[in-house]
């Protein structure tokens, strides 16, 4: 009961004080892990794009956060994640408004970088002791967004503009994730998940413009914190007897 209370307390505090709560959660990680609850650190990479840009290319970003894995039965798990850094965007979005007419150049490169705070709920179904399938929904809150414009007028020079785009974008995004994962260490170690995400909400506020939906592939590495500490202690206790 004490562990559940501690778990709930950390979840409540994560949103308003993300950085400090990451440190607290990592400090108490070994106390949160039980046979039915796994807690850990989530790190990974995103490969995202925006719809309605025929020439667009995927852009690489990072994700970082915390996760819980609740065992519901021998096969079913509930896997929520809190991502404090979730970098999204796209390259080659050339029809965005130029901040300066001088940027109209054959060497023009454009891209969008946006950062979200994301909450993910993923039911997991264990196919084997180590392989699992997962599918669920996510909700994201926009933290920052910037349009970048780059030209190279000469071979030895370049001009780059950065324009804050947060005011032009919707604050929230909602979508679904689906993927496969593998759990190392005979089903008790690091989690590796590969997912596809599909956003439902137009990222742009202006409804007169063609809607931009977020799409992407994500690699997540879940690192349990303190898992296995009790089993190690048991072995030490047995050796001392």
Cα→Cα distances 125→73, 76, 88, Å:
10, 5, 27
Whole-number CA gyration radius for the chain: 21
The model's pLDDT over 11-37, given as tens digits with 9 standing for 90+, comes to 444 444 444 445 545 555 456 678 888
Torsion-angle region of residue 188: left (phi > 0), alpha (psi -120 to 50) or beta? alpha
Would you state the pLDDT for residue 127? 95
Amino acid 13: pLDDT? 43
The region, left, alpha or beta by phi > 0 then psi within -120 to 50, assigned to residue 185 is: left
* pTM of structure: 0.79
What was the pLDDT predicted at 86? 93
Cβ–Cβ under 8 Å, residues 85 and 61: no
Query: DSSP secondary-structure letter at 211?
Result: P
Go through the domains of the chain in sequence order and give each one's CATH number: 42-240 (2.40.160.20)
150/81 Cα distance (integer angstroms): 35
pLDDT per residue as tens digits for the range 64-105: 999 999 999 999 999 999 999 999 999 988 666 677 666 777
Q: Which residue has the higher pLDDT, 21 or 52?
A: 52
């Amino acid at each position: 009961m004490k562990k559940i209370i501690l778990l709930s307390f950390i979840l409540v505090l994560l949103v308003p004080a993300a950085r400090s709560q990451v440190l607290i959660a990592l400090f108490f990680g070994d106390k949160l892990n039980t046979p039915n609850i796994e807690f850990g650190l989530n790190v990974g990479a995103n490969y995202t794009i925006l719809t309605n840009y025929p020439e667009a290319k995927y852009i690489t970003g990072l994700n970082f956060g915390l996760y819980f894995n609740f065992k519901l039965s021998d096969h079913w798990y509930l896997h929520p994640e809190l991502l404090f850094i979730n970098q999204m965007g796209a390259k080659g979005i050339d029809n965005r408004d130029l901040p300066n007419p001088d940027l109209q150049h054959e060497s023009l490169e454009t891209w969008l970088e946006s950062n979200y705070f994301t909450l993910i709920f993923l039911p997991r179904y264990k196919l084997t002791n180590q392989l699992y399938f997962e599918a669920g929904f996510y909700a994201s809150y926009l933290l920052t967004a910037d349009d970048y414009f780059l030209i190279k007028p000469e071979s030895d020079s370049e001009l780059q503009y950065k324009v804050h785009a947060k005011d032009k974008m919707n604050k929230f995004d909602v979508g679904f994730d689906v993927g496969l994962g593998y759990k190392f260490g005979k089903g008790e170690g690091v989690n590796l998940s590969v997912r596809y995400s599909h956003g439902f909400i137009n990222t742009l506020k202006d409804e007169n413009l063609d809607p931009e939906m977020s799409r992407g592939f994500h690699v997540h590495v879940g690192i349990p914190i303190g898992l296995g500490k009790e089993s190690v202690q048991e072995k030490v206790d047995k050796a001392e007897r």
